[in-house]
Amino acid sequence: MTTNPRTGTRDDVTQVQDDRADVRGDDLLPGPAVDARDQVVRGRGSRIAGVVITAFLGLYVIWTLVPFYIMITSSFKASDAAFALPPEGDWGGAVSQLFVFSPTTEHYRGLFAQGEFERYFTNSVVAAVASAVISVVFGTTAAYAISRGRFRGKRDLYFWIISTRMAPVVAVTVPLYAIFKNFALLNTLPALILAYTVFNLPFAIWILKGFFDSVSYEIEEAYMVDGHSRWQALWKIIPLVAPGLAAVVVLCILLAWNDFIFAAVMGGEAAKTLPVATQGLKSASGIEWGQIMAAGVVTVAPMLLLGIVIRKYMVQGLTMGAVKQ
């Protein structure tokens, strides 16, 4: 029987029989992995449906992957091999040409031999990452303000921000061109970064607001009462919106990475990005299909990697923010 020095209570005074405080161990262990779907007895009808669905998905996978396959193999084929036609009626030869060839890296070497392609790649990375970072930083703070703040015209402001996304890209290209021209930003990377941010920021605000809405305000209030400033409280709840941030980062990078029109109109030579550079391989002297395929591979690969790395958060991010638990 000890006496609590701070409260002066004896331990045994507050010892009360409490069945609820003792969560039995088995309450906390994860149960056997039973999926409700496993227990559904499947009838004949659903088996046929299963075959149909599998067949459809199989076709869909082929449909999706074949272009990639052709792009990748063509990038490693010598130019004559890529366009070689099998004799008429020789189906075996046609199929073997899809799979059997002697790989060469000549197109990749040719691509980078110009000495400029690395720069285009860097431009793409800088434009995409910078615009994504700006969008995430300002998107987070703006979304937080819209989610938490109480001010007049909040709904209108929110709608206005989303509505800026409704205009098609071409509609803002010309005005932006004029603006950038006045600010002497044409043919610079900042122009591209700004242009991408124009489109990414509303999107980031929109997604992140949903995430902040799903985080209980009382958690931040608890942080503030505990002794944190509002900024610190916001920083503390960032892990709770991390899936949203991941989704925003990826989608912002994708938009910038895949953009052609802004880069073509405003980028010029100084801020040429991969899509524009690839298009440039189609010149009056001929179309460098091998190099175009190699450029395609170089363009697609980083995004594939990014998608794989961040895929878990993205799926969560795209569903969780919208659906209120």
Partner 1 sequence: MASLTFNGVWKRYDQVEAVKDLNLAVADGEFLCLLGPSGCGKSSSLRMIAGLEFISDGDILLDDRRINDLEPRHRDIAMVFESYALYPTKTVFENMANPLRLRKLSKDEIDRRVRETARILEIERLLNRRPSQLSGGQKQRVAIGRVLVREPQAFLFDEPIAHLDAKLRARMRGELKHIQKTLGTTTVYVTHDQLEGMSMADRMAIMREGVLQQVGTPHEVFNRPTNVWVATFVGDPPMNILNAEVQAADGGLVARAPEYTITIPAQQAAALSSARLTDNKVQIGVRPEALTLSSVRDPQHPIAGRIYAVQPLGDVEIVDVRVGDDRILVRTELGTISNEDMNAPVFLGYKPEKLYFFDAVSGQAVY
The contact set with partner 1 (CB under 8 A) reads 4-9, 11, 13-16, 18, 20-23, 28, 150, 216, 218-219, 221-230, 236, 239-240
| Least distance from partner 1 to the Cβ atom of residue 241, Å | 11
| Least distance from partner 1 to the Cβ atom of residue 210, Å | 17
- Residue 187 vs 214, nearer CB to partner 1: 214
- Residue 78 vs 215, nearer CB to partner 1: 215
d(CA 249, CA 12): 55
Question: What is the DSSP code (8-state) at residue 266?
Answer: I
| Least distance from partner 1 to the Cβ atom of residue 244, Å | 15
- Residue 6 vs 37, nearer CB to partner 1: 6
- Residue 6 vs 44, nearer CB to partner 1: 6
160 token code pair: 């206005």
User: With contact defined as beta carbons under 8 Å apart, do 208 and 158 qualify?
Assistant: no
Is residue 257 exposed (0-12), middle (13-18) or buried (19+ Cβ within 10 Å)?
buried
61 φ, ψ (degrees, to nearest 5):
-65, -45
| Least distance from partner 1 to the Cβ atom of residue 217, Å | 9
| Least distance from partner 1 to the Cβ atom of residue 208, Å | 18
- 298: phi > 0 → left, psi -120 to 50 → alpha, else beta; which? alpha
| Least distance from partner 1 to the Cβ atom of residue 313, Å | 15
- Residue 118 vs 226, nearer CB to partner 1: 226
| Rg, C-alpha atoms of the chain | 28
138, 144, 149, 151 alpha-carbon torsion, rounded to 10°: 40
User: With contact defined as beta carbons under 8 Å apart, do 187 and 269 qualify?
Assistant: yes
- Residue 222 vs 261, nearer CB to partner 1: 222
